[in-house]
Structures are given as structure tokens and as C-alpha cells.
């Protein structure tokens, strides 16, 4: 795998902002031919720097008006507890991101729900009764200030 040069980093930044940007437009911005852009992009994909292409969907427009971050503390720190919790997060569509954490919480979840009653039902009916979960702490997002998906390249 070849290390990234400044042009690769600039290309990655541009593609993170808009993955559908044409090779022609990228070639104008980067002062390279469209074929050079295509070859660089293909190499970045082959080397694993680009792992996929996704579309960003406006949550509010599809009826998901509440975003929350939920800290989860488990009752025990066992392999079984972790496996059980992983099964839960993989089966719940509301959970769009999940991380293991250091500190007070064992996990941090990003959750999208239609409204506050739906978030309450999710917390009360799904999370709290789960045998692995000891405590949850929710924080509701008031406003998205910065896109959290782009990496600083």
C-alpha cells in the first residue's frame, strides 16, 4: 500500500464532501486529467482508504425528528454480556452508530426516532429491560452543528 500524498488527501477530502463529484470537476480542482483522477480513486479504493460510498439522507425529511446519544453501562463485563449487547445493536434500526467507550459508560449509541415518545418507548421497552444493561443516560441533540462523517484529511 502506497502512502498518501497531498493530492490523495485533497481528493479524499473532496470525495467526502460529495462522493458524486465528477472526475471532470475533480480534475479541474486538482489540476489533473480525469483519467489520473479515476486511477487515483481506484487505487484509494483498492488500498482500502475508501471503504464505501453512501448517500446522506435528511433525517427530518424521512420523519426522524429526534436524534439522541445514549450512554449505556452494562451490569457485568463479560464476553456473554458484550455478545448479547452486540446482538441488540445489530437488530435495532434506531441505532445508527455504536461505540465501546472508556469512562463511566461502556457503550455510546447514536439513535434516531420519530419523536420523543418513540425515543421514550425505545429506552423503556428495548434498552432498560435488556438483561445486559444496568444503566442508560440519554442526551437529545438540539441542533447538528457539524457533519460528523467526514474525517480530517
Dist CA 151 CA 146 (whole Å): 12
462522493: which residue's cell?
19
Beta partners for 107? 72, 100
Write out pLDDT tens, residues 25-45: 999 999 999 999 999 999 999
Any residues with CB less than 8 A from the CB of 126 and at least 6 apart, and which? 88, 92
Question: Rounded to 10 degrees, what is the CA torsion of 37, 41, 43, 46?
Answer: -160
Cα 84 off chain centre by: 21
Alpha carbon distance 34, 147 (integer Å): 28
- Domain range 60-140, its CATH number among 3.30.70.920, 3.30.70.260, 3.40.50.10860, 3.40.50.1110: 3.30.70.920
- Name the residue ranges covered by the structural domains of the chain: 6-46, 60-140
Which CATH number describes the domain made up of 6-46?
A: 1.10.10
* pLDDT tens-digit series, residues 83-142: 999 999 999 999 999 999 999 999 999 999 999 999 999 999 999 999 999 999 999 999
Amino acid at each position: 500500500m502506497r502512502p498518501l500524498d497531498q493530492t490523495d488527501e485533497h481528493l479524499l477530502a473532496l470525495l467526502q464532501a460529495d462522493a458524486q463529484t465528477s472526475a471532470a470537476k475533480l480534475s479541474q480542482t486538482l489540476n489533473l486529467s480525469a483519467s489520473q483522477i479515476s486511477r487515483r480513486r481506484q487505487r484509494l479504493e483498492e488500498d482500502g482508504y475508501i471503504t464505501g460510498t453512501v448517500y446522506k439522507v435528511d433525517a427530518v425529511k424521512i420523519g426522524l425528528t429526534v436524534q439522541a446519544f445514549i450512554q449505556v453501562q452494562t451490569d457485568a463485563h463479560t464476553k456473554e454480556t458484550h455478545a448479547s449487547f452486540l446482538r441488540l445493536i445489530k437488530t435495532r434500526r434506531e441505532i445508527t452508530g455504536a461505540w465501546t467507550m472508556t469512562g463511566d459508560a461502556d457503550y455510546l449509541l447514536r439513535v434516531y426516532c420519530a419523536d420523543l415518545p418513540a425515543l421514550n418507548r425505545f429506552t423503556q421497552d428495548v434498552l432498560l429491560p435488556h438483561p445486559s444493561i444496568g444503566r442508560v443516560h440519554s442526551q437529545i441533540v438540539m441542533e447538528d452543528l457539524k457533519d460528523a462523517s467526514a474525517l480530517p484529511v
